[in-house]
Chain A
Amino acid sequence: MKSSSLRRNVLLLSLPLVLAAVLLVIVGSGGIVTAGHEDMPPHGIVCTENASPDGKSAIFSLSTMTGTISLPDGNRVYMWGFSAGGDPFQHPSPTLCVTEGMTVTIVVNNTLDHDVSLIFPGQEDVLANGVPSTPVVDAGTGELISLAPVATANGGSMTYSFVASQPGTYLYESGTEPGIQVNMGLFGALVVRPLAGPNFAYNEVVVSGTVTYTTEFMPDEEFLLIFSEIDPMLHMAVEQGLPYDMNNYTSRYWNINGRSFPDTIAPNGAEWLPDQPYGSLIHINPFNDDPAAGDAYHPHPALIRYLSVGTENYPHHPHGNHGRIIARDGNVLIDGAGQDLSYERFTITLGPGQTTDEMFAWTDVEGWHPTENPIPVTIPQLQNLTFGTFYSGSPYLGATDLLPVGHQALNACGEYYHISHNHALQQITAWGVVLSGHITFTRIDPPLPNDCP
């Protein structure tokens, strides 16, 4: 059994944390319910939450940090980031989760020697220190300084607030020197949950005849993937305080949740990636909407929230099945008359600064079984094939079989793996390392009950 999502953990932890938050608020420090890495579920979304006891508001204190991240070619790249409360540097910045209707307050404390700001694409009527957040223009030169009021360098702060009026998946990112600062890591995700419930992406439904389609997903199968890219020359220039000309911008690394494959499939909070806590493995069970299936009953798809902070369109291709795109940029694909505008794709275009919500499921349509329904072709003997690290040795879900002596096998219980990757294949590399970059995997466990770790 895989662990429950953090959201559930947060519920379990909520009483002491809420108490702590309340105590902190009482002493005026501003409390953040922040998941320590040891509390993270191995896979799936990791939420940072801090709702007020009455559920009407949430407050987050984000401090700028500097640090480095590890990349598969052995390079370490200097980064900036936001961390919640007193947390150490992390990349990407924390995923903030709130509920529809909450008043969200984000206090930015800036320790960098550059001015920093935040913009919240998709949020309306954002306030900065209580007045509408608007672009900042130099009064003397007329030069556009920032897309939002800044927390000034070396100790300034700025408080942004808005009402999270519409459920969905959103970005928050720097509005100051954004070409440089977003590449440096000043970005994160904001998830607004609907009033319909924590296992729904949106409130709306599509009614077609006797069938009602909702956006409900399996509670343990919510994933969030932020696609980004890095020009290491930009980072070196910033680290050394040198100027950088954006006309020379050339991406060399392509990351999901701040990691490049194979690090992407390491668990959340993996100890060998101390500053890159968010994994990207899509860990699901087979879809099965037959209530008579017992433990194998698995009647909803997974929800995958895709976000891109890159500079070009990424064509993301999950193997194994199509995904159904149910929303873009926090806007559910249902029109005002209740008509379904959602669609299935085998390759999803993630535009710069866009978010896309996808329902994803895999169904065992053929039901192959070693004795009752064998695959109708013969698999060659071991010496006549090459074997992948994730292969179980058997074509059958839930079965394992012999692999060549000395083969490095990571398959645990006959589970299936499908790659999920950017199909601009020059971007599944890491500055000379191939099979890296924008790759993660979907892991499909055998139907429950199983003994998968």
Chain B
Amino acid sequence: MCGICGIVSTGAPPDLDLLRRMMGRLGHRGPDGNGYYRDRRAALGHNRLAIIDTAGGAQPLCNEDETLWVTFNGEIFNYVELRDELRGHGHRFRTASDTEVIVHAWEQWGEGCFSRFNGQWALALWDSREERLVLSRDRLGVRPLYYRRTPGGLAFASEVKALFADPTAQRALDPTGLDETLTYWSTVAPRTVFRGIEQLEPGHVAVLDRDGLRTSAYWSISFPERGREPVQDARANAEALRERLVEATRLRFLRSDVPVGAYLSGGLDSSITAAVISQYTDAPLHTFSLRFSEDELDEGRFQKEMAARLGTEHEDVVVSPADIAEVFPEVVRHTETPVLRAAPAPLFLLSRLVRDNGYKVVVTGEGADEVLAGYDIFREARVRMFWARDPESAKRSRAAELLYPWMARSPGRMPAFARTFFGRNLDLADPALSHRPRWDSTSTVKGILSADLRAEIERGDPPDVAASLPAGSEDWDPLSRAQWLEMKTLLAGYILSSQGDRMLMANSVEGRFPFLDRDVVDLANTLPARHKLFGMEEKYVLKQAFGDLVPPDILRRPKQPYRAPDAASFFTPGRPDWVDELTSRRAIEAAGVFEPALVAGLMAKGDRTRGENMSNTDNMRVLAVVSTQLVHDSFVDDHHDWAAAERALPPPEVAVDLVTHDRSTR
């Protein structure tokens, strides 16, 4: 895993000093080395986290005649098979890296190469003969890729902070991006929360040449028509899923030249991936877990049970609310976007634990809940569909009591509230019936926005991701539509980003996700909906497939989503000074995002209650205020000392400058 960046210019040659500053800001993504290439039109930068071919895989890397260069972040897990195939076409390889496969695959298949890749990537290819830049991002958005259109071309980078190394870049929050974030928990690609900064959509390729910039999809999320799924037998599908998931896990464990560890959350998904991995190693597997000082959130019992069963060398970190507040500014400098939960912070501390134990790769169970319908929102949708068939039925309304059994204030204990909350907008014709309660409740956060910002938002169109559901989706199972919405919004924009890549790469750790393997996703998307969510039983086929590898109490326990202390983290005794400084009336007025009096009232309420038992809306509001103020402070006001990171960039391993005719490789 690495950091990439680059500049394409139609005027003067790209500024090498700027490129080096951009690389400096991405140092955490690749502390093992760095390199650059520049000609009169383009410059590519690379920060390397060396995992495959640690001796020979330095980047940027080129083809035989040095006319095609690549800078690459990620892994192509089927690179061994692709390399054999490309050798059959006459290609010659100088390294054992997956990076070189990309160069030859592009030469052989052009844009068609991306459909052949099974992996997680963000990359840029520069064809100096054609003066053409190609950007590509993996299918579901595991790896990030941002870009900024400049007057003379384009700049791109793994993280927004690198694009802001250019002092001419506009620094402002985008009202529509904030509107989306305060609806869906994240923006929807290509939008970001920054004006003038875009992100390449997952599953897309962008081409910049003399005809300008254009993007197109090489893959899209799709499902068969309900009832026309190719295999209806649950046992056969369970066997097929097991075969593909075992292979996906094997690839992610074995295709590495450095040791690979695993996360154990205490839930089903990571228990399965860790159990599968343990079959491929004679040495004890190293597993890592996150625990909480609050009993309600802690899953330590299940983690220890699974670790003992597998005989792993197990490490955990226990996180308290005060720990979250302490690291939150650094966390938000990595999320680069407001977040409505504090959940990324503990994951930052977990990846630090991994790094401190000498590991830089972990396999995790991420993605299973989206791909195999594990989230409560899918159960919620099932209840709402059931109820919507007769909204007046008292019996059907009781279905809401089946939701969120793990919550202290669960619908089963508060049925009247549950019926009010989940019974709104029961419209069977609504393609977003599944997500409406979440989006509506999140949108209440906007009530504390400043009058100016609210007016600006209201001048635009309201967010409507459901309108972009593909043609034919009306014939999908409703669960499939809900999965599509979840993958388009929360998975790419938050789970894989703010909780995923950013928290891992902040500590130079690569995450590998077998459940997001190309072949696993392709199979999962063709399963009958009932094999994923059977009535109210989530991940049914997964449990059928791996029931022998997981202890019964982990297999049968109700799905408990990963949760962390939220607002309470910022109202602990002796909280860090930055909380008061950034939420002061002066700071709120200066940023202009929130209404100062309403923020003052919210923070006073938090002080009175120490943030305990705040409503879901107030919880989200506290997180929105704190994280947005941090984003504004670091990125818009530029108060962070980014130059320190820029100065820390070591000398390059690859330095090819065709403008000055300097060249060195180490």
Question: Are A and B physically bound partners?
Answer: no
Interface residues of B (CB under 8 A from A): none
